[in-house]
Structure formats: C-alpha cells, structure tokens
Amino acid sequence: MDLATVAGIIIAFSLVIGAIMSGGSLMLFIDFPSILIVLGGTIGATLINYPFGYMIEVLRVIKKTFFSSVEPPTAIIAQFMDYANRARREGILALEPVIKEVKDDYLRKGLQLTVDGFEPQIIQDILELEIGYREDRHDLGAEMMLVMGAFAPAMGMIGTVIGLVQMLQSMNDPSAIGPAMAVALITTFYGALLANLIFLPMAGKLKTRNKEEILNMEMILNGILCISNGDNPRIVAEKLNSFLPPKQRESTD
Amino acid sequence: MDLATVAGIIIAFSLVIGAIMSGGSLMLFIDFPSILIVLGGTIGATLINYPFGYMIEVLRVIKKTFFSSVEPPTAIIAQFMDYANRARREGILALEPVIKEVKDDYLRKGLQLTVDGFEPQIIQDILELEIGYREDRHDLGAEMMLVMGAFAPAMGMIGTVIGLVQMLQSMNDPSAIGPAMAVALITTFYGALLANLIFLPMAGKLKTRNKEEILNMEMILNGILCISNGDNPRIVAEKLNSFLPPKQRESTD
Amino acid sequence: MDLATVAGIIIAFSLVIGAIMSGGSLMLFIDFPSILIVLGGTIGATLINYPFGYMIEVLRVIKKTFFSSVEPPTAIIAQFMDYANRARREGILALEPVIKEVKDDYLRKGLQLTVDGFEPQIIQDILELEIGYREDRHDLGAEMMLVMGAFAPAMGMIGTVIGLVQMLQSMNDPSAIGPAMAVALITTFYGALLANLIFLPMAGKLKTRNKEEILNMEMILNGILCISNGDNPRIVAEKLNSFLPPKQRESTD
Amino acid sequence: MDLATVAGIIIAFSLVIGAIMSGGSLMLFIDFPSILIVLGGTIGATLINYPFGYMIEVLRVIKKTFFSSVEPPTAIIAQFMDYANRARREGILALEPVIKEVKDDYLRKGLQLTVDGFEPQIIQDILELEIGYREDRHDLGAEMMLVMGAFAPAMGMIGTVIGLVQMLQSMNDPSAIGPAMAVALITTFYGALLANLIFLPMAGKLKTRNKEEILNMEMILNGILCISNGDNPRIVAEKLNSFLPPKQRESTD
Amino acid sequence: MDLATVAGIIIAFSLVIGAIMSGGSLMLFIDFPSILIVLGGTIGATLINYPFGYMIEVLRVIKKTFFSSVEPPTAIIAQFMDYANRARREGILALEPVIKEVKDDYLRKGLQLTVDGFEPQIIQDILELEIGYREDRHDLGAEMMLVMGAFAPAMGMIGTVIGLVQMLQSMNDPSAIGPAMAVALITTFYGALLANLIFLPMAGKLKTRNKEEILNMEMILNGILCISNGDNPRIVAEKLNSFLPPKQRESTD
C-alpha cells in the first residue's frame, strides 16, 4: 500500500475543497457537463493516441500508484551473499534447490540459466534484453499518464473557449456576463486539477517505482553474473553495495 | 482496423459538439474563413517545413492511424522456435523452402542471408542498418504530425490576433464588440481542436505503432542471429521471451 | 528548386492576407515601425547570439530552403554496384579512372583513399570524422533559424508591452484606447507570423535536407568500406538497400 | 556553509518585500488560506509523485543547499601524487596504513580494493557502478525540487481560477471586484515566488553540488586506477590535472 | 573583439528606444524600483542557484561574449602538417624545440606527452579527459546565462503581479487605473528585455564560442595522435581537413 499517494490526494483535494468552501458554495464548482467534456475529451484523445489494449493498462497503472511491492535492495544483497557462499563452497549446482523457492521471475530465470551452465556472456545478453524491454513497457505507463496530463488542460482550455464564444455572442445582459464567464472557467479548473493533482504526479510515482524495480533487476543481473563467473563473495558484496547509499551498506567483514 | 482511433475521435468530437449545443447553436462555431486560415495556414507552414514528397506521406500516415497490422510478438516466437528446431535437426539449409512463404520483408531477408551462409557479424550489420533507417523513416510520420500540432494553434493565435486588431480599430459600437471577439476566438478554438484531438494524438498513435514494429524487428534480428550462430533452441526461447511481459511468455519446457 | 517552400509561403501568406482583407483594410496591418522593431530586434539578438561570420550563413541557408540538389539514394546504390563489380573483376585500381568524373567531394575523397590502398579502419576514421563535422555545421543553419524563431515572438511581445504601457499612461480619451491597443498588438502579429510562417518551418526544411544529405553520406561511407574490404557485391547491395524503404529497393538478382 | 544560498534568499526576498512596501501595506500580500492552498497543494502533489520515504529526503536536500563540504579538487591531486609516489617506491602495500585515515567512503573503498590486489578491471567495474548509482540518487534531490517548482505555480493558478470563478459569480457590487480579484491573484504570486525564489534555484544549487561531488569521484576513480595499474606518477599528475581549469593546475616538475 | 555582440546590442537597444520615443517619453520606461526588483531578484535567484565562486565566472563569461580569440582551424592544420613532416623526416624528438614556442596549453601538453614517448592510448586518455572537463566547465558559463534568462522574466512577472494586486485593492479612482497598470507592466518589460536581448543571446554566443574551441581541441587531439602513431602526413591532412567545410580545405598535393 503506497500511503503517500492516498495522503497526497487527501491533503491536496481537501485543501482545494476548503479553499472553495471558504469563499462560497462548493456547488458552484460542480458542473457535470464540464466534467464530461474535460474527462471524456481527455479519454477520447488518449484513445486516438494509444491502441485499445493500452487503455486497460491505464487502470492497472493507476492501481500500481496505490499498491506497490518493491523488495528492499538490502534483502537482495543478503540473498546473493548466501548464493555466492553456497556456490563457492558446494559448487553452482547447490543453487538448484533454491530456484523453486524464488518468487521473482527475473531472479529465477537468471539462477536457472546459471545452474544450467550457460556461459556468462549469454546469460548477460538474455538478462539485459529483459531489463531493456521491461523498462520500455513500464515507462509506457508513466508516459500514458503524462499524455493525459497534457490533454486534460488542453480540453479544459477548449471548454473555456467554447464558453467564452457563447457568452460573447449574447452579451445583451451585462449582469449575465460574470456568471457565464465563471461557468466557462470551470473547465479550465477541472483540466488543471486533473493534470496537476492526478495525472502528472501519478506519472511521477510510476517513474519512481519503475526506477526502483529496474535498480533491483540491475542488482540481480550483477549478482547473477558474479555467481556465473565464480567471483569471490567479497566482490559480490562490493559490487552490490555500490548500488546502495553508504548508510544502508552493511559491513562485509 | 484500429478501433481505438475511430472510437476516440467519435467520443471526443461528440462531447465537444454536445458541449457547444447545450449552450447555443452549433452554427456559431462553424466559420469557413476561420477553418481556411487555420487548416490552410498549417498546411502552408508544413509545406515550407517539408519537401513535397513528404506531404503524400502525411496521407499514408493518417491512414496508418486507422489501419494497422502489427504481428503479435508471440507468433514471432513460435515461428522462430520452429526454425531453430529445424535448423538444429536438419541443418540451416532446411530453412530454404520456408523463405518463400514468409511475407515479412525483413524476416525473409534475414533468413535468406542466413541460408546463404553469410557470417553472423555481416548479417547483424545489414539487419541493424535496416532497423536504424526504418526507425528514422517511421519516426518521420509521427514528427510531421507533431509539427502540424505545433503550427495549428499558432495559426489559430494569428487568426485571433487579426480579429482582435480589426475589432479594436472599429470600437464605435460597443454592442458589436462581443460578437466580433467571439468570431476572433473561433480560430483559437479550431487550432486547439486540430492540435489536441487530431494531430498530437495521431502522432502518439504512430509512435506507439512504430515501437511495436521495431520491437518485432528486434525480435526477428535476435532470432536470426541465434539461428545463424547455431544456438540451442532453449537460448532462442529465453532470448525472445525476454521481449515479452512475463504473463505472455509460454513455458519453454 | 524546392517548390514546396514556394508553394507553402504563397498558400500561407495569401490565406493570412485574405483573412485580413475579408475583415477590413490591409493597411491596418502594415506598420513600418512595428516591422522595424520585430525584424530589427530579432536581427540584433541574433547578432549577439552568433559571430558576424555566421550571419552570412543565414542568407546561404535561406537560399538552401528554396534550392536543393540532394542526389536520390537509388542512384548512389547503382553507382556502388558498378564500383563493386569493377573492383571485384579488375581489382581496386580499376576505380582510379572513375575518380576524376565523380562530382561529390565526399565520394571522391573516399574512392581516392581506397584506391591509394589505406586500411579500411583509417578510411572509416577519416570519413566518419567528416560526417560528424558536416552534420554539426549543417545543423547550425537549422539552429540559427530556430533561434530567430524564438526571438521574433519575444520581440513582438516586447513591442506590444511598450504599446500597452504608453496607451495605459494616457487613457484620457476612451475612444482612443481601441486603436492604440490595436497598434500595440501588431508587433505580436508580426512576431508570430515571422516565427511560424518563416523561421520555424524553414528550420524544419533545413533539418530535413540535412538528414537526406547525411543519409547519402552514410550510404557512401558503407559502400566505400565494403569496396575497401573487398566485400562481395551482393553484400554491398544488401547493405545499401537497408537504407531504403522496401518499395524503392531493386531486386539484386 | 553555502553563503550564496543565504545571501541570495536575503537579497531576493528583501527586494520583493521592498517592492511591496513601497506601493502599500505588506499585509495585503499575506493571506494564510492562500499560503495553505499553494504550499499544501504542492506538498500533496509531491506526495502523490514520490513515496513517503523520499519526502524526508526533501528536508535533507534543502539542508544541503545551505551547508556543503565538497573537497577542493586540488587537494585530491596532492593526495594521489603522494599515494602514487609511495606505491612506486615501496609497493602498493605501503598504502595500507593510509586507508584508516581516509574519511571519504569512496576513496577508502577504492584504496582497500587496490591494496587487496584485485584486478584493475574489477576495481573499475565496482567504482563505476558506485558513481553511476550515487549520481542517480543525488539527481533525485534536484529532481524533487524541480517537480515542486512545477507544481507550485500550477497550484497558484488553480487558486486564482477558484477566486475568479467566485468573484464572477457574485459581481453585483462593482466596487468589490477589484479587491476580490486582488485576493485571487495572491495565490499566483505565492506560486511564482515559491517556484522561482525557492524550488527552482535550490534545484540548481543541488545540481551544481552534485556535479562537483561526481567530478571528485571521477578524479578518485582515475587516480585509483592509475595506482592499481602501477602507472608512472607523471601520468597520474597529467590525468588528474586534466580535470582542472588550466589556472588551478600546479606544475608537475 | 567580437563586433557582432556590440553591433547586436546597439541595433536592438536603439530600435527599442526608438520605438518607445516615437510613442512618448523615454522616462515612462525608466523606473528604478522596477529595475531593482527584476535585476536584483534575478541576481538573488542566481546566487541561490550557484555557489559564490561561480558568480565571478558570470563576469568573466560576459567579457568573453565581447572578446574572443579562437584560432582559425586552418592555422592548426598548417601547424600539424609542419609537425608531421618534421617528425617523419627527423624523428619525434625533432618536435622538442617547438614545444616552448607553443602558446596553447592543450597543444603544448599534447606535444610534450608525445615527445616524452608515452603510448598513444595513454596520450588519448589524458587529452580526452581534458576535452571532456573543459567542455563541462565552458558549458557552465552558457548555462548560467540561460538560468538568468529564465529567472529575469519570472521576476518581471512577479513584479507585475505585485503591481496588479496593489492597483486592484485601491480601485476607487478609475482614472488612476491606467497609469498604475502601466507601472505594473514595466517589470514585465524589463524581464523580457534582459532575457531576450542580454542573457539568452549571450548564452548563445558562449555556446558558439565553446563549440569552436572544442572543435580546435578535437583537431589538436587528432593531430597529436597521428604524430604519436607515426602516421603518414597525408593521413594527417585528410583527417584534419575532415573538420573543415570543403571550401576551406587546401589541396594536399
């Protein structure tokens, strides 16, 4: 559970609602047709921008901003120190029984290739290909959020221009100008809100999560290659510790 | 057929039209000279920006956002498992009869070079050159749409400034100010609409399609090199599966 | 002659002039001091931005957007197939008489180095250096146009702010406000026009032309290296065809 | 202590406050609800954008813009000249007693690996991994400030739109329009102030400090590799001096 | 002396002053507190953005946009042809007496390393390190100007918002609105002027000068490596000529 996402949304929206209510009724800012054109138009533009299959991805990706389960990098180091010591003492085949217990797809694949005795260069090629394409796929989720964060204010602006044109065409009653312009501005408000409090920060959270996942995969890649090369456990520790901030490193003595 | 493009255009434009009609007549927003200056000016600027030959490309590229036939990556893996097994059992020449049935230019070229016995390094050079330049050419289509998506709002803004200058010059009748300003804003409306609901999302769709095509070409490149190197079918499977999200992978046992 | 540039300028400017004349006199939009501050200010800022010698480059570069003579890539392939066959049959020295007839500096240099018997690695170093720096120099032309396309609207905005400040200072006569504001907006109009219908699309045309020239140079580089390596003409054909879209390729049988 | 940060904040804010007070009361610009929506909304959006743990990083990072202790590069060169000479005369093991006195984690790790006799290639792999990930982590701090510098003006704009909508809805009393609009603009003012005088320049300071730290690490990396390779002290001096501007270099004779 | 910088500043500023004086008094646009908040605020933000030491760099860098002494690349080629011929005829040591006469630090260092007989690979490492870090340091100057070019309009905008809020709060006398708004706009005017006629084009000039310097260093690097490798003078000529536009090349016969 990513509490920061929940806390951020609650804080930001309650401040916005509070600011509205301190100056008047909340109802002034709730206008269903305005929501429809901004949100619906954004969805429409996003559908033109991506194939259908990707839209389901959006839902999966929004879920990911609320829930996340990236393993702490220190746990990965501990695991690899264990693997390296076993492989050193009992040979690489000693890792065979470990494989079944491993939950992470990528680590399991790497260990299996190592135990099966493929050359380090081939293992590296395969595992690097996987990091590369995993990164591309994950970046797609963040990119979709960025795209929606660009279309939402544009739709808000289009809605406001429509409202302004209609107001300007029928400017007989000066007292009606204010409220008509207020309504026209509501779509700008929705566009800015959706972009800055939903789409863009969610894109940021996804990018952060992806970086953490890719960091873990790169640690696993380095660890697997060390084991496959039969490196000294000391080298494994030094290499993998290089991924961590100095404070999180454990003494390797 | 790319239904998402059709659905997106229908959703977005019906919402915009609905928003207009809920507030007044649609006719207020249909102004032929305004369409002419925004669309024509955008086409003019695009002609200065690209050689004539590229403009035909625009039409081809728009068509591509509606129709697309990217082969699913899983089919490519199945194909290569078959090739790798045949080559393993019967030798590389066993692939000769397959070549004629292959429809994809790139795959056919790769297989032909392999069967003809060129060295893997030379095959890689040739096939990588082709990916590189194919990517450049395809990116061009998306880039042209982005360029048009930048010129359209600029032309809309130029149209609005023209209208404002004319209105301000003849401000004798205050009751005429509103409608004149409304007309001036129509070009801004067209520019925003063309950019955000046509050009920019179409550029996005093209980029997505190109990425899918390049991914397939990279899978084919990797597969061809494995066969040309005489790699174990297991390695072929592991390498090509690295391109897929874990869920789509098939067990290789 | 690049007809697209001419056609684009004619289309775009006649639409803008048409839009102006349909709403009033063209004279309203012709204001010599406004042209002076926008165009002169842009030239001034560009002089601060680039050394004197580069400004002559601007004129050369503008000419290039109207005239261009990039050789079609298919002609280059035909040429190299001929060279490769001759070199194969009669030895590399058979290319000596060809060199004098070659007009393109780069191709001539490459052939001369090959005939002189330098090692492929040295030829590659020299020819790649030249591509790299040619690309830098040519990008400079497009970059100068982009820079002018950024300064022009800024100068337009500065002109408008000057006009607004003067108008606001002397707001005694309300009927004079409109026309004064109209005049102030003219510089914004010029800035947008210069940027979006001249500088930015010309930058685009230059970038496109440069890409075509660099593509040809890369084809020549690949062809020269094949010949210098004594490659099979079939490899030459496959490599050079990789630069072309499939439709333009000729059968190599 | 980074006096420039302190001086910059004092100069910029006293000028802003001076500009306000020269035109009226400072109290006009102090509006607690406006501060709340801009600052609180920015924090909320940043929480959605980053995991909780990163927010503590923000505080650490702000502190870093005020205090900094990057070692001068010339001191690093002097140190390495000493190490290189000792290693040359007495062998690499002569560096063992030095290690304990070294405070910098990175330098100590590099020396330890060298003294332990690992191969230069392995030392380079480990130390480069560490530079890469240290750079990523440090860039994160600057990136968080940039993100906050983007959200703050957006929240300011949202606040202003809210104020405008409320003002326009109740435009009965024309004399109230001015003050209401003034209040609406205050959030725009806060957003611009936070972004341009706090978040964005602090992001710049962090980037500058990170570059200095990474430069030092790259000098250390080059120095360690020279020692591990047993390079001539003259080469060590030439290499490390290459990192400095010519004026700061000391004669190596 | 870089006359283009002087000419550009004179042209741009006389046009702006001319535009102002053709419409009223220049004094309307001279407002000391406005200059203070825009220029002072920009300096303040820049101090937060960079350490103190870098601010002196700003002055050095501004001087550099007026004075510059980049050696013409053709002179470098002539020099190296001479060195290469001497080294070819009399051996590398024949270059020893030349070194003392060389003024350029980088060329002298390269020649010294060559004469001292270091291996080409080591010379290349040292000279490339120096190009890399020289480029970083020089880019810093251009970057500082860009940063100031971003802060100046932001400070102008902040000044205008302050003015608008004060004006709107005290809108009792309608005839005072115009002049108050005019004053508020002056900071926007200063910000745009400083950014577009000083900071941004100076950043451009610095970037151009740095490119020229780096180009010369890359020519020197290539020349030194040729000599250190004992390359044929013909290769030296071909390599170094690759850096020049075809027109500037001299026949090497």
Of A152-166, B125-139, B238-252, C192-206, the poorest mean pLDDT is in: B238-252
B192 and A151 in contact by Cβ < 8 A?
A: no
Phi-psi region for residue B24, left (φ > 0), alpha (ψ -120 to 50) or beta?
left
> Would you state the pLDDT for residue E251?
55
Residues of A in contact with D133 (CB under 8 A): 215, 242-244
D204 and E50 in contact by Cβ < 8 A?
A: yes
Mean pLDDT, rounded, for C218-231? 93
Rounded Cα distance between E166 and D148, Å, is: 28
Q: What is the DSSP letter of E239?
A: H
End-to-end CA distance of chain C: 35
The radius of gyration of chain E from alpha carbons, rounded to an integer in Å, stands at: 26
C48 and E4 in contact by Cβ < 8 A?
A: yes
Identify the CA nearest to D5 among candidates D208, D215, D214, D192: D208
Q: Which residue in D has a C-alpha nearest to residue E124's C-alpha? A: D239
Rounded Cα distance between E147 and E159, Å, is: 18
**Residue A63 tokens, joined:** 């879920």
Of A93-97, D56-60, E100-104, E157-161, the poorest mean pLDDT is in: D56-60
Provide the CA B112 distance to its chain's centre, in angstroms.
29
Question: How many Å lie between the alpha carbon of C249 and the closest alpha carbon of chain E?
Answer: 31
B179 and A158 in contact by Cβ < 8 A?
A: no
Rounded Cα distance between E191 and E159, Å, is: 9
- The count of other CB atoms within 10 Å of the CB of residue D131 is 17
CB D67 within 8 A of CB A34: no
pLDDT band at D16 (very low <50, low <70, confident <90, very high): very high
Rounded Cα distance between A3 and A15, Å, is: 18
Average pLDDT across chain E, whole number: 90
Residue A161 has its nearest CB partner, among B12, B189, B195, at B189
Residues of D in contact with A181 (CB under 8 A): 168
A49 and B11 in contact by Cβ < 8 A?
A: no
SS3 B91: coil
Compute CA distances C205 → B142, C46, C200, whole Å.
16, 20, 9
User: Is D120 in the E-facing interface, judged by CB distances under 8 Å?
Assistant: no
Residues of E in contact with D245 (CB under 8 A): 134, 137
Residue E20 has its nearest CB partner, among C36, C134, C162, at C162
C193 and B37 in contact by Cβ < 8 A?
A: no
Q: Per-residue pLDDT for chain A (253 aa), expressed as one digit of tens each? A: 788 999 999 999 999 999 999 888 899 899 999 999 999 999 999 999 999 888 888 888 888 888 877 888 999 999 999 999 999 899 889 999 989 889 898 999 999 999 999 999 999 999 999 999 989 888 899 999 999 999 999 999 999 999 999 988 877 777 778 888 888 999 999 999 999 999 999 999 999 999 999 999 999 999 999 999 988 888 899 899 999 888 888 654 4
Rounded Cα distance between E170 and E175, Å, is: 12
E19 and C159 in contact by Cβ < 8 A?
A: yes
User: Is B18 in the A-facing interface, judged by CB distances under 8 Å?
Assistant: yes
E158 and D239 in contact by Cβ < 8 A?
A: no
> Would you state the pLDDT for residue B250?
64
Angle at A23 between CA A20 and CA A27, to 5 degrees: 55
Angle at D159 between CA D157 and CA D164, to 5 degrees: 90
D197 and E45 in contact by Cβ < 8 A?
A: yes
The per-residue b/e assignment along C106-133, b for 16 or more CB within 10 angstroms, e otherwise, is bbebbbbbbbeebebebbbbbbebbbeb
The radius of gyration of chain B from alpha carbons, rounded to an integer in Å, stands at: 26
Residues of D in contact with A211 (CB under 8 A): 136
ipTM computed for the complex: 0.90
Angle at C131 between CA E70 and CA C140, to 5 degrees: 50
Contacts of C251 (CB under 8 A, 6+ apart): none
Residues of D in contact with A153 (CB under 8 A): none
**Residue-wise DSSP of B212-224:** HHHHHHHHHHHHH
Compute CA distances C73 → A37, C204, C213, whole Å.
48, 21, 10
Interface of E with C in 152-211 (CB under 8 A): 175, 177-179, 181-182, 185-186, 188-189, 192-193, 195-198, 200-202, 204-205, 208-209, 211
Identify the CA nearest to E38 among candidates E208, E120, E200, E156: E156
Mean pLDDT, rounded, for E214-231? 93
- The count of other CB atoms within 10 Å of the CB of residue D86 is 18
**Residue B11 tokens, joined:** 């959703």
B165 and C186 in contact by Cβ < 8 A?
A: yes
> Would you state the pLDDT for residue A250?
64
Element (H, E) at D132: helix D120-169
Rounded Cα distance between D87 and C209, Å, is: 57
pLDDT band at E250 (very low <50, low <70, confident <90, very high): low
Rounded Cα distance between C2 and B48, Å, is: 9
Number of D to E CB contacts under 8 A, please give it.
159
B vs E contact (3+ beta-carbon pairs below 8 A): no
B24 and A169 in contact by Cβ < 8 A?
A: yes
Mean pLDDT, rounded, for D35-50? 95
Question: How many Å lie between the alpha carbon of C40 and the closest alpha carbon of chain E?
Answer: 7
Rounded Cα distance between B113 and C171, Å, is: 80
In one-letter notation, the amino acid at residue D132 is G
Of B216-225, C67-76, D194-203, E102-111, the poorest mean pLDDT is in: C67-76
Q: What is the DSSP letter of E38?
A: I
> Would you state the pLDDT for residue E253?
42
The beta strand positions in chain C, using DSSP E, are: none
Neighbours of C, requiring at least 3 CB pairs below 8 Å, are: B, E
Percent of chain C with pLDDT over 90: 62
Compute CA distances E10 → A99, B192, C191, whole Å.
75, 39, 20
Identify the CA nearest to E106 among candidates E222, E229, E231: E222
Question: How many Å lie between the alpha carbon of C18 and the closest alpha carbon of chain B?
Answer: 9
E20 and C50 in contact by Cβ < 8 A?
A: no
Please state whether the predicted TM-score (pTM) of the whole model is above 0.90: yes
Largest Cα–Cα separation, chain D:
91
Residue A48 has its nearest CB partner, among B188, B205, B244, at B205
C vs E contact (3+ beta-carbon pairs below 8 A): yes
Residues of B in contact with A57 (CB under 8 A): none
Q: Which residue in A has a C-alpha nearest to residue B236's C-alpha? A: A126
For an interface test with B, which of C3, C11, C65, C167 has the most B Cβ atoms less than 10 Å from its Cβ? C11
Rounded Cα distance between B184 and B34, Å, is: 9
Interface of D with E in 28-57 (CB under 8 A): 28-29
**Residue B147 tokens, joined:** 């360029």
Q: Which residue in D has a C-alpha nearest to residue A24's C-alpha? A: D166
> Would you state the pLDDT for residue B108?
93
> Would you state the pLDDT for residue E205?
93
E vs D contact (3+ beta-carbon pairs below 8 A): yes
> Would you state the pLDDT for residue E248?
80
Compute CA distances A76 → A72, A104, A111, C197, whole Å.
7, 11, 13, 57
C11 and B47 in contact by Cβ < 8 A?
A: yes
In one-letter notation, the amino acid at residue E248 is Q
Contacts of E30 (CB under 8 A, 6+ apart): none
D126 and A242 in contact by Cβ < 8 A?
A: yes
Residue B141 has pLDDT above 60, yes or no: yes
Higher pLDDT, B95 or A58: B95
Residues of B in contact with C222 (CB under 8 A): 129
Q: Which residue in A has a C-alpha nearest to residue B215's C-alpha? A: A133
Number of C to E CB contacts under 8 A, please give it.
159
A204 and D151 in contact by Cβ < 8 A?
A: no
Rounded Cα distance between C166 and C188, Å, is: 16
Angle at D164 between CA D162 and CA D167, to 5 degrees: 110
For an interface test with A, which of B6, B15, B185 has the most A Cβ atoms less than 10 Å from its Cβ? B15
**Residue A31 tokens, joined:** 């206008």
User: Is D215 in the E-facing interface, judged by CB distances under 8 Å?
Assistant: yes
For an interface test with A, which of D47, D144, D186 has the most A Cβ atoms less than 10 Å from its Cβ? D47
Residues of E in contact with D202 (CB under 8 A): 48-49
